[in-house]
Amino acid sequence: MNFERARFNMVEQQVRPWEVLDTQVLDVLEAVHREDFVPVRYRKLAFADLSIPLPQGQSMMCPKVEGRMLQALGLKEDDTALEVGTGSGFITACLSALARRVVSVEIFEELHLEARNRLQDKHMHNVELFVGDVMSGWQPEQAHDVVVVTGSVPAVPEMFRGWVNPGGRLFVVCGESPAMEARLLTRVGVSDWREESLFETDLARLVNAEHAPGFKF
Protein backbone atom coordinates (compact mmCIF):
# COMPACT_ATOMS: atom_id res chain seq x y z
CA MET A 1 0.00 0.00 0.00
CA ASN A 2 1.28 3.45 -0.93
CA PHE A 3 0.81 5.25 2.39
CA GLU A 4 2.01 8.59 1.05
CA ARG A 5 -0.62 8.56 -1.70
CA ALA A 6 -3.31 7.31 0.68
CA ARG A 7 -2.50 10.08 3.18
CA PHE A 8 -2.62 12.71 0.42
CA ASN A 9 -5.99 11.38 -0.78
CA MET A 10 -7.33 11.42 2.80
CA VAL A 11 -6.50 15.09 3.12
CA GLU A 12 -7.70 16.12 -0.34
CA GLN A 13 -10.80 13.92 -0.67
CA GLN A 14 -12.09 13.72 2.91
CA VAL A 15 -10.68 16.45 5.12
CA ARG A 16 -10.49 19.45 2.80
CA PRO A 17 -14.01 18.94 1.35
CA TRP A 18 -15.33 19.03 4.94
CA GLU A 19 -14.39 22.72 5.04
CA VAL A 20 -10.98 22.19 6.63
CA LEU A 21 -8.95 24.85 4.84
CA ASP A 22 -6.39 25.81 7.49
CA THR A 23 -3.07 25.09 5.78
CA GLN A 24 -1.29 24.49 9.08
CA VAL A 25 -3.80 21.79 10.05
CA LEU A 26 -3.69 20.19 6.60
CA ASP A 27 0.12 20.15 6.70
CA VAL A 28 0.10 18.44 10.09
CA LEU A 29 -2.36 15.78 8.91
CA GLU A 30 -0.01 15.04 6.03
CA ALA A 31 3.13 15.14 8.17
CA VAL A 32 1.96 12.91 11.05
CA HIS A 33 1.85 9.32 9.82
CA ARG A 34 -1.61 8.18 10.88
CA GLU A 35 -0.89 4.58 9.90
CA ASP A 36 1.70 4.36 12.68
CA PHE A 37 -0.99 5.06 15.29
CA VAL A 38 -3.49 2.48 14.05
CA PRO A 39 -3.57 -1.11 15.38
CA VAL A 40 -1.68 -3.37 12.96
CA ARG A 41 -4.78 -5.31 11.93
CA TYR A 42 -6.46 -2.09 10.76
CA ARG A 43 -3.42 -0.44 9.18
CA LYS A 44 -4.84 -0.60 5.66
CA LEU A 45 -7.90 1.30 6.92
CA ALA A 46 -5.82 4.08 8.47
CA PHE A 47 -7.04 6.64 5.93
CA ALA A 48 -10.62 5.44 5.49
CA ASP A 49 -13.57 7.69 6.32
CA LEU A 50 -14.50 5.76 9.45
CA SER A 51 -13.74 5.34 13.14
CA ILE A 52 -11.08 2.71 13.75
CA PRO A 53 -11.41 0.32 16.72
CA LEU A 54 -8.80 0.44 19.48
CA PRO A 55 -8.25 -1.88 22.45
CA GLN A 56 -10.51 -1.57 25.51
CA GLY A 57 -13.53 -0.83 23.33
CA GLN A 58 -12.22 2.60 22.31
CA SER A 59 -11.89 4.07 18.82
CA MET A 60 -10.16 6.73 16.75
CA MET A 61 -12.19 9.59 15.30
CA CYS A 62 -12.54 9.59 11.53
CA PRO A 63 -10.03 11.89 9.79
CA LYS A 64 -12.45 14.64 8.75
CA VAL A 65 -13.67 15.06 12.35
CA GLU A 66 -10.07 15.27 13.55
CA GLY A 67 -9.39 17.94 10.94
CA ARG A 68 -12.45 20.05 11.81
CA MET A 69 -11.61 19.80 15.51
CA LEU A 70 -7.99 20.92 15.05
CA GLN A 71 -9.06 23.77 12.79
CA ALA A 72 -11.71 25.01 15.23
CA LEU A 73 -9.21 25.10 18.10
CA GLY A 74 -6.95 27.51 16.21
CA LEU A 75 -3.81 26.36 18.02
CA LYS A 76 -0.86 28.74 18.25
CA GLU A 77 2.75 27.70 18.70
CA ASP A 78 2.90 29.10 22.24
CA ASP A 79 -0.34 27.41 23.40
CA THR A 80 -0.52 24.66 25.97
CA ALA A 81 -3.05 21.90 25.31
CA LEU A 82 -4.81 19.33 27.48
CA GLU A 83 -6.20 16.20 25.84
CA VAL A 84 -8.75 14.11 27.72
CA GLY A 85 -8.46 10.61 26.24
CA THR A 86 -5.06 9.84 24.68
CA GLY A 87 -6.36 6.83 22.75
CA SER A 88 -3.95 5.86 19.99
CA GLY A 89 -1.86 9.00 20.46
CA PHE A 90 -2.60 10.35 16.98
CA ILE A 91 -4.40 13.50 18.09
CA THR A 92 -1.72 13.89 20.77
CA ALA A 93 0.90 13.88 18.02
CA CYS A 94 -1.02 16.47 15.99
CA LEU A 95 -1.38 18.70 19.06
CA SER A 96 2.34 18.26 19.73
CA ALA A 97 3.12 19.60 16.27
CA LEU A 98 0.82 22.61 16.70
CA ALA A 99 1.29 23.64 20.36
CA ARG A 100 4.16 24.42 22.71
CA ARG A 101 3.25 21.74 25.26
CA VAL A 102 0.68 18.95 25.47
CA VAL A 103 -0.67 17.14 28.52
CA SER A 104 -2.75 14.05 27.79
CA VAL A 105 -4.57 11.71 30.16
CA GLU A 106 -5.84 8.20 29.39
CA ILE A 107 -7.95 5.99 31.65
CA PHE A 108 -6.62 2.69 30.24
CA GLU A 109 -2.99 1.91 31.01
CA GLU A 110 -2.72 -0.35 27.93
CA LEU A 111 -3.56 2.55 25.62
CA HIS A 112 -1.36 4.92 27.62
CA LEU A 113 1.68 2.65 27.24
CA GLU A 114 1.14 2.06 23.53
CA ALA A 115 0.69 5.78 22.85
CA ARG A 116 3.76 6.61 24.93
CA ASN A 117 5.90 4.22 22.90
CA ARG A 118 4.62 5.63 19.60
CA LEU A 119 5.22 9.21 20.62
CA GLN A 120 8.69 8.42 21.98
CA ASP A 121 9.57 6.68 18.72
CA LYS A 122 8.68 9.89 16.91
CA HIS A 123 10.74 12.00 19.35
CA MET A 124 7.82 14.15 20.45
CA HIS A 125 9.33 15.55 23.64
CA ASN A 126 6.79 18.31 24.40
CA VAL A 127 4.16 15.76 25.50
CA GLU A 128 3.45 14.66 29.07
CA LEU A 129 1.22 11.60 29.49
CA PHE A 130 -0.80 10.50 32.50
CA VAL A 131 -3.04 7.59 33.48
CA GLY A 132 -6.21 8.69 35.24
CA ASP A 133 -9.99 9.09 35.20
CA VAL A 134 -11.14 12.70 34.86
CA MET A 135 -14.58 11.63 36.07
CA SER A 136 -13.18 10.26 39.33
CA GLY A 137 -10.77 12.86 40.58
CA TRP A 138 -7.92 13.26 38.08
CA GLN A 139 -7.18 16.92 37.38
CA PRO A 140 -4.43 18.78 35.53
CA GLU A 141 -1.92 20.73 37.57
CA GLN A 142 -2.87 23.95 35.80
CA ALA A 143 -5.31 25.38 33.29
CA HIS A 144 -4.52 25.26 29.56
CA ASP A 145 -5.09 27.36 26.48
CA VAL A 146 -6.80 24.49 24.69
CA VAL A 147 -8.74 21.52 26.08
CA VAL A 148 -9.71 18.65 23.77
CA VAL A 149 -12.14 15.94 24.90
CA THR A 150 -11.94 12.91 22.59
CA GLY A 151 -14.99 11.10 23.98
CA SER A 152 -18.55 12.41 24.12
CA VAL A 153 -20.41 13.53 27.23
CA PRO A 154 -24.14 14.02 27.89
CA ALA A 155 -23.42 17.68 28.67
CA VAL A 156 -20.34 19.74 29.53
CA PRO A 157 -19.04 19.01 33.06
CA GLU A 158 -18.35 22.25 34.89
CA MET A 159 -14.85 21.06 35.82
CA PHE A 160 -13.85 21.02 32.13
CA ARG A 161 -14.52 24.75 31.97
CA GLY A 162 -12.24 25.28 34.96
CA TRP A 163 -9.34 23.76 33.03
CA VAL A 164 -9.44 26.49 30.35
CA ASN A 165 -7.37 29.67 30.58
CA PRO A 166 -8.99 33.06 29.86
CA GLY A 167 -9.16 33.36 26.09
CA GLY A 168 -8.77 29.58 25.79
CA ARG A 169 -10.90 27.08 23.87
CA LEU A 170 -12.64 23.84 24.77
CA PHE A 171 -13.70 21.26 22.17
CA VAL A 172 -16.31 18.78 23.33
CA VAL A 173 -18.98 16.56 21.78
CA CYS A 174 -22.28 16.59 23.68
CA GLY A 175 -25.63 14.87 23.49
CA GLU A 176 -27.09 11.46 22.80
CA SER A 177 -26.38 9.00 19.99
CA PRO A 178 -26.91 9.10 17.07
CA ALA A 179 -27.21 12.90 16.83
CA MET A 180 -24.53 14.56 18.95
CA GLU A 181 -23.19 18.10 18.61
CA ALA A 182 -19.53 19.09 18.38
CA ARG A 183 -19.12 22.38 20.22
CA LEU A 184 -16.38 24.95 20.68
CA LEU A 185 -16.49 26.93 23.92
CA THR A 186 -14.27 30.00 24.16
CA ARG A 187 -13.61 31.56 27.56
CA VAL A 188 -14.02 35.30 27.06
CA GLY A 189 -13.99 36.21 30.77
CA VAL A 190 -13.81 34.73 34.23
CA SER A 191 -17.33 33.32 33.96
CA ASP A 192 -18.32 34.33 30.42
CA TRP A 193 -18.22 31.96 27.47
CA ARG A 194 -18.89 32.12 23.77
CA GLU A 195 -20.32 28.84 22.48
CA GLU A 196 -20.38 27.69 18.86
CA SER A 197 -22.02 24.65 17.32
CA LEU A 198 -19.58 23.17 14.82
CA PHE A 199 -21.20 20.07 13.32
CA GLU A 200 -23.26 17.01 14.11
CA THR A 201 -21.49 13.71 14.76
CA ASP A 202 -21.71 10.54 16.82
CA LEU A 203 -18.80 9.81 19.15
CA ALA A 204 -18.23 7.04 21.68
CA ARG A 205 -18.83 8.05 25.29
CA LEU A 206 -15.99 9.18 27.50
CA VAL A 207 -15.57 6.39 30.06
CA ASN A 208 -17.70 6.97 33.19
CA ALA A 209 -19.21 10.16 31.73
CA GLU A 210 -22.79 8.94 32.15
CA HIS A 211 -22.57 9.00 35.94
CA ALA A 212 -20.29 11.97 36.52
CA PRO A 213 -21.43 14.81 38.76
CA GLY A 214 -21.33 18.47 37.83
CA PHE A 215 -22.91 18.48 34.39
CA LYS A 216 -24.14 21.83 33.15
CA PHE A 217 -27.03 21.49 30.73
pTM for this one?
Answer: 0.94
What single-letter amino acid sits at 88? S
Q: Which of 102, 92, 217, 68 is nearest to 153 (CA)?
A: 217
114-124 mean pLDDT: 97
Look at residue 62 in the predicted model and tell me its pLDDT.
96
pLDDT at 211: 63
Average pLDDT over residues 6-10: 97
| pLDDT given at position 217 | 36
Q: Is the pLDDT of residue 212 over 70?
A: no
Q: Where are the alpha helices (DSSP H) in 2-99?
A: 3-10, 23-31, 63-73, 90-98
Strands 144-149 and 127-131, bridge-based pairing: unpaired
The C-alpha angle 68, 73, 74, rounded to 5 degrees, equals: 105
Q: Which of 184, 175, 183, 166 is nearest to 203 (CA)?
A: 175
Q: What is the mean pLDDT of residues 12-35?
A: 97
CATH T-level fold of 3-216: Rossmann fold (3.40.50)
What mean pLDDT is predicted for residues 11-29?
A: 97
First-to-last C-alpha distance (Å) of the chain: 46
* pLDDT (mean) for 71-85: 98
169 contacts 148 by C-beta, under 8 angstroms: no
Of the candidates 189, 178, 180, the one whose C-alpha atom is nearest the C-alpha of residue 156 is: 180
Does residue 216 surpass a pLDDT of 70? no
Average pLDDT over the chain reads 95
- Beta strands 179-187 and 193-201 are antiparallel
Q: Which residues contact 212 (CB under 8 A, 6 or more apart)?
A: 135, 153, 157
pLDDT at 214 over 80: no
Angle at 209 between CA 205 and CA 214, to 5 degrees: 145
- Residue 30: CB atoms within 10 A of its CB come to 16
Alpha helices in the chain (DSSP H): 3-10, 23-31, 63-73, 90-98, 109-121, 158-162
164-183 average pLDDT score: 96
- How much of the chain, in percent, has pLDDT values that exceed 90? 94
- Pair 119, 96: CB distance under 8 Å: yes
Average pLDDT over residues 197-201: 96
Average of per-residue pLDDT across 127-142: 97
Q: Is residue 35 predicted with pLDDT exceeding 60?
A: yes
> 127-131 and 80-84 as β-strands: parallel, antiparallel, unpaired?
unpaired
* Domain locations along the chain: 3-216
For residue 110, is pLDDT > 80? Answer: yes
Of the pLDDT bands very low, low, confident and very high (cuts 50, 70, 90), residue 89 is very high
Q: Is the pLDDT of residue 164 over 90?
A: yes
Spatial distance between the Cα atoms of 133 and 136, rounded to a whole number of angstroms:
5
